[in-house]
């Protein structure tokens, strides 16, 4: 064995031991997230996340051990090339696993503050309920949810069951709640709509249904709405569970200069913002009749006249506006295989969250609206919608929302 071979073998062994130590250290999750933050998770959620992330670290460490064994057994230059290839693969997989560990631990660390932790536990519970309402009748298990607070304009989700580097699945749906919308968290249900659409296979079916319904009247609109099906599904899901409540927050988030509102980047799954707002207003109009959504839609048309849109976007807008009632029907009234042959509105009836029904709920509940364990258990979506709509008239954060979310998360005792 020549000196060059021995030197290379020793160097590879040193590098492999380094990555072996790094892989093993990934399993020490309390380095990345404080013990206090882990304790603020519901036990089942914390165990699930920790078990998944710890499993990744153990599998990586085992791979590092195999690479070290390969290096020790090398007797030829070909063996060393094989060992180096294994080492580079280990590095890549470590980077992916590290990103996943950091992502979940950063999310857990947003619970360092006990007050915020209690609110986020309430949002965890709301997210699970928003999916369970549709998934349970379909015989699909509802995944765990870990919500976390972050900056930015829009919410987002890392779906439960997303495929990780080693073919394992992400342990829980991780949903970002933006700081500015913490007290009107309707985007939570938009994000769980993405998870439901994925688990049921609704997105692909909806895309095909939209194209089939619109193509005879406008091929250009049919192609656009087919490409937007994933985000349309999430918006429609939030509407069916919360009614008008998500629409003002959505309009606030997607607003901006007309150049931005009419922007249509290639491959973006979101509808053009101007059309997205009009679709949400059309959903309300189709199910509830006249209401404040009409004024919002008119305000947006005045604020962002079609003359400000690029020609390709203007063509899609002009073709789509008369088709909005048909799009609403496809999304909410058309039977879908994803929902075992019934429309989404059969499983989540928008009429239950009409303004009149929400007012009747408030009148019947009276002072017990935010304190009754029964209402907390059976009406969380309607209470969320009602509280968000009430908060639109306030310039300060609604104390009722925080108190109720803390109770939803088990932070306070509630009356029967």
Give ∠ CA 45-47-49 in degrees, rounded to 5: 70
- Enumerate the β-bridge partners of residue 174: 146, 158
When computed from its CA atoms, the radius of gyration of the chain, rounded to whole angstroms, is 25
For residue 275, give Cα distances in angstroms to 116, 166, 204, 272, 408. 35, 40, 21, 5, 35
pLDDT at 171: 82
C-alpha closest to that of 218 among 140, 88, 323: 323
Question: What pLDDT was estimated at residue 414?
Answer: 40
Whole-angstrom distance, CA of residue 309 vs CA of residue 301: 12
- Rounded Cα distance between 206 and 373, Å, is 37
Q: How many Å apart are CA 35 and CA 42, to the nearest integer?
A: 13
Q: pLDDT at position 1, please?
A: 60
| pLDDT attached to residue 415 | 39
In b/e form, how buried is each residue of 9-31, taking b as 16+ CB within 10 angstroms? beebbebbeebbebbeebbebee
Q: What is the pTM of this model?
A: 0.90
Q: What was the pLDDT predicted at 86? A: 95
Show the low-confidence residues of the chain (pLDDT under 70). 1, 164-168, 397, 411-416
pLDDT of the residue at 162: 75
H or E segment and range at residue 229: helix 229-242
What torsion, rounded to 10 degrees, do the Cα atoms 404, 408, 414, 416 define? 110
């Amino acid at each position: 064995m020549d000196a060059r071979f021995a030197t290379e073998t020793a160097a590879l062994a040193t590098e492999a031991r380094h990555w072996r130590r790094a892989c093993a250290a990934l399993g020490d999750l309390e380095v990345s997230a404080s013990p206090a933050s882990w304790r603020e998770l519901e036990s089942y959620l914390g165990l699930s996340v920790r078990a998944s992330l710890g499993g990744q670290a153990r599998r990586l460490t085992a791979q590092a051990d195999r690479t070290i064994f390969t290096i020790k057994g090398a007797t030829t230059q070909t063996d060393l090339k094989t060992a180096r290839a294994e080492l580079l693969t280990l590095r890549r997989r470590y980077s992916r696993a590290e990103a996943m560990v950091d992502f979940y631990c950063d999310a857990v660390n947003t619970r360092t503050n006990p007050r915020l932790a209690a609110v986020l536990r309430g949002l965890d519970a709301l997210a699970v309920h928003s999916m369970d309402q549709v998934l349970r009748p379909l015989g699909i298990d509802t995944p765990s949810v870990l919500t976390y607070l972050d900056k930015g304009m829009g919410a987002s989700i890392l779906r439960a069951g997303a495929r990780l580097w080693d073919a394992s699945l992400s342990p829980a749906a991780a949903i970002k709640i933006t700081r500015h919308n913490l007290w009107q968290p309707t985007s939570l249900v938009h994000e769980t709509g993405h998870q439901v659409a994925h688990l049921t296979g609704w997105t692909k079916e909806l895309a095909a249904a939209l194209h089939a319904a619109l193509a005879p009247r406008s091929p250009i609109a049919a192609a656009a709405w087919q490409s937007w099906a994933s985000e349309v599904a999430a918006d429609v899901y939030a509407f069916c569970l919360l009614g008008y409540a998500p629409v003002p927050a959505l309009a606030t988030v997607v607003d901006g200069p007309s150049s931005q509102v009419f922007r249509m980047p290639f491959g973006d799954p979101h509808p053009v913002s101007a059309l997205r707002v009009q679709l949400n207003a059309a959903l309300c109009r189709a199910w509830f009749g006249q209401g404040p959504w009409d004024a919002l839609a008119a305000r947006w048309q005045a604020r962002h006249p079609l003359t400000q849109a690029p020609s390709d976007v203007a063509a899609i807008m002009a073709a789509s506006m008369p088709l909005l009632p048909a799009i609403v029907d496809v999304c909410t009234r058309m039977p879908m295989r994803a929902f075992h042959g019934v429309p989404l509105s059969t499983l989540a009836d928008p009429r239950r969250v009409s303004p009149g029904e929400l007012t009747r709920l408030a009148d019947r509940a009276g002072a017990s609206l935010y304190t009754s364990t029964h209402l907390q258990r059976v009406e969380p979506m309607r209470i969320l919608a009602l509280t968000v709509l009430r908060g639109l008239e306030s310039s300060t954060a609604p104390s009722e929302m925080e108190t109720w979310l803390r109770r939803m998360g088990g932070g306070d005792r509630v009356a029967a």
